[in-house]
């Protein structure tokens, strides 16, 4: 069992979400109501800038702290761009660009994303399904000036944003950058692949948090709900399903830890991220299915909050490369090394 953490940053995040991120807040956000007091409290605590160094206006905390905060945010299905603002802070930090206040997001989020910085200093290109673009004040854009990778900071005001949503009802908007003049541009060695790897590590933390939540909800529901004269928790078939769910939660948690570690080095370890996103993504699907089975018809209603976590699990597992994409890539890495290098590859991290 997890003990209460002695990490003050995590405690702060947990308190804020407990107070200001109940099921109603999540439902209201899906209707388009910006959770003003939640975001305000987060900003006041400095959490969105966890990864930004002091000199660029942030908290300068360790990567691990930010990842731990994201796991808590995942537990609460926080309907705000906390993960995206953290990622934007990380990306801007690579380019030593000062981080503005307010909610932020990043673009492009796909491996084949391509935004150009043209000769007149404006951007050109489109990015699809940018998380929370409509809510963000600025977007940290990974772009190219010729063949040189750069990071550009762009204000969203005046940008054509066409709204769409994820299957969790969260904003995933298409953004046209053509003609936009960035507020800052600097070279940064981070390529699109590394950005996608980092995004995968971020989503894995949220997935792990949401899975922890649905395990709790499912166990509690099984203890509370009686059928055939006893709590359904007493039926072996239900117990075994919950045992499988607990295993998937544990595996996703281990995978999220592995991905976070993979981001700690100067270059993100791609193989480790691939392993983690395949396993974590799979756990998201298997876990959500069991949680719904245990909750019966009640869990299929909008009124019950189970879908806050499960719909996000289905959405997050798809972003920054789904299981199929990463599995094929991992398989190609393994094949290129050859059969006799498989075991050394598996044990290389330790």
Partner 1 sequence: MNLSFRFDPVELPPETKELRQEVRAFLRQEIEAGTFSPNGGKGSFSREFSRKVGAKGWIGMTWPKKYGGHERSHLERYVVTEEMLAARAPTRAHSTADRQSGPVILRYGQEQIKQKILPQIARGELCFCIGLSEPNSGSDVFAASTRATKTDGGWLVNGRKIWTSNAHQSDYMIALLRTSPPTKENRRHGLTQFLVDMKTQGIITRPIINLTGSHDFNEVVFDDAFLPDSHLIGEVDMAWKQATDELAYERSGPDRWIETFPALVELVRRAGEEPSERLAGGIGREVAHLATLRRMSLSVAGMLQAGKTPSVEAAVVKDLGTNFEQALPDKVRLLAPQTGDSQPDSNDDRFEEALRYATLIAPKLTIQGGTREVLRGIIARGLGLR
Residues in contact with partner 1 by CB under 8 A are 1-3, 211-212, 215-216, 219, 222-223, 233-234, 236, 238-240, 242-244, 246-247, 249-251, 253-255, 257-258, 261, 274-276, 278-279, 282, 323-324, 326-336, 338-340, 342-343, 345-347, 350
Please state the closest distance from residue 262 (CB atom) to partner 1, in A: 11
Least Å from the CB of residue 256 to partner 1: 10
Q: CB of residue 342 vs partner 1: minimum separation in angstroms?
A: 5
Let me know the angle formed at the C-alpha of 267 by 56 and 321, rounded to the nearest 5 degrees: 95
Residue with tokens 């607990």: 246
Q: How far is the CB of 166 from partner 1 (least distance, A)?
A: 24
Taking the complex as a whole, the smallest distance from the CB of residue 283 to partner 1 amounts, in Å, to 9
Closer residue to partner 1 in complex, CB, 192/217: 217
Write down the least CB distance from residue 324 to partner 1, Å. Answer: 6
Q: How far is the CB of 136 from partner 1 (least distance, A)?
A: 31
- Residues 59 and 168: their CA atoms lie apart, in Å, by 30
Rg (C-alpha) for the chain, rounded Å, is 21
Residue with smaller CB distance to partner 1, 195 or 210: 210
| Residues 77, 210 contacting (CB under 8 angstroms) | yes
Considering the complex, state which of residue 14 and residue 50 has its C-beta at the smaller distance from partner 1: 14
Q: Which residues pair with 143 in a beta bridge?
A: 150
Distance separating alpha carbons of residues 244 and 285, to the nearest angstrom: 12
User: Cβ closer to partner 1: 62 or 223?
Assistant: 223
Q: Which is nearer to partner 1, 154 or 245 (CB)?
A: 245
Instruction: Say if residues 119 and 83 touch (Cβ distance below 8 Å).
Output: no
Largest CA distance in the chain: 74
Length of the chain measured in residues: 350
DSSP code of 298?
Answer: G
Q: How far is the CB of 202 from partner 1 (least distance, A)?
A: 18
How would you classify the pairing of strands 104-107 and 138-145?
parallel
d(C-alpha 1, C-alpha 9), whole Å: 20
Orientation angle between helical segments 270-295 and 306-316, nearest 10 degrees: 150
Q: Residue 291 to residues 73, 211, 306, 312: CA-CA distances in angstroms?
A: 19, 9, 8, 14
Measure CA of the first residue to CA of the last residue in the chain; give whole Å: 25
Closer CB to partner 1, residue 83 or residue 276?
A: 276
Kindly tell me which of 167 and 348 has the beta carbon lying closer to partner 1. 348
Q: Which is nearer to partner 1, 49 or 222 (CB)?
A: 222
């Amino acid at each position: 069992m997890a003990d209460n953490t002695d990490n003050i940053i995590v405690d702060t995040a947990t308190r804020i979400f407990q107070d200001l991120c109940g099921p109603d807040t999540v439902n209201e956000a899906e209707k388009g109501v910006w959770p003003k007091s939640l975001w305000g409290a987060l900003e006041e605590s400095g959490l969105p800038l966890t990864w930004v160094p002091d000199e660029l206006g942030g908290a300068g905390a360790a990567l691990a702290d930010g990842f731990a905060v994201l796991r808590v945010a995942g537990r609460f299905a926080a309907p705000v761009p906390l993960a995206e603002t953290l990622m934007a802070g990380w990306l801007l930090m690579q380019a030593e660009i000062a981080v503005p206040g307010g909610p932020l997001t990043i673009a492009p989020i796909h491996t084949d994303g391509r935004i150009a910085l043209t000769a007149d200093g404006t951007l050109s290109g489109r990015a699809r399904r940018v998380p929370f673009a409509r809510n963000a004040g600025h977007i940290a854009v990974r772009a190219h000036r010729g063949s040189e990778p750069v990071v550009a900071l762009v204000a969203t005001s005046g940008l054509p944003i066409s709204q769409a949503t994820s299957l969790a009802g969260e904003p995933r908007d298409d953004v046209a950058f053509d003609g936009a003049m960035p507020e800052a541009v600097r070279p940064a060695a981070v390529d699109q692949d590394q950005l996608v790897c980092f995004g995968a590590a971020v989503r894995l933390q949220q997935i792990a948090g949401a899975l922890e939540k649905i395990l709790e909800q499912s166990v509690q529901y099984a203890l509370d709900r009686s059928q055939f004269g006893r709590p359904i928790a007493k039926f072996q078939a239900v117990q075994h399903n919950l045992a499988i769910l607990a295993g998937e939660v544990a595996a996703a948690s281990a995978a999220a830890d592995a991905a976070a570690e993979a981001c700690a080095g100067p270059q993100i370890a791609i193989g480790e991220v691939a392993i983690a996103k395949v396993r974590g993504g799979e756990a998201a699907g298997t876990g959500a299915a069991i949680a719904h089975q245990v909750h019966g018809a009640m869990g299929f209603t909008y009124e019950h909050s189970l879908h806050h976590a499960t719909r996000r699990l289905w959405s997050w597992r798809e972003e920054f490369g789904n299981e199929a994409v990463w599995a094929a890539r991992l398989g190609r890495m393994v094949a290129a090394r050859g059969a006799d290098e498989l075991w050394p590859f598996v044990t290389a991290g330790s």
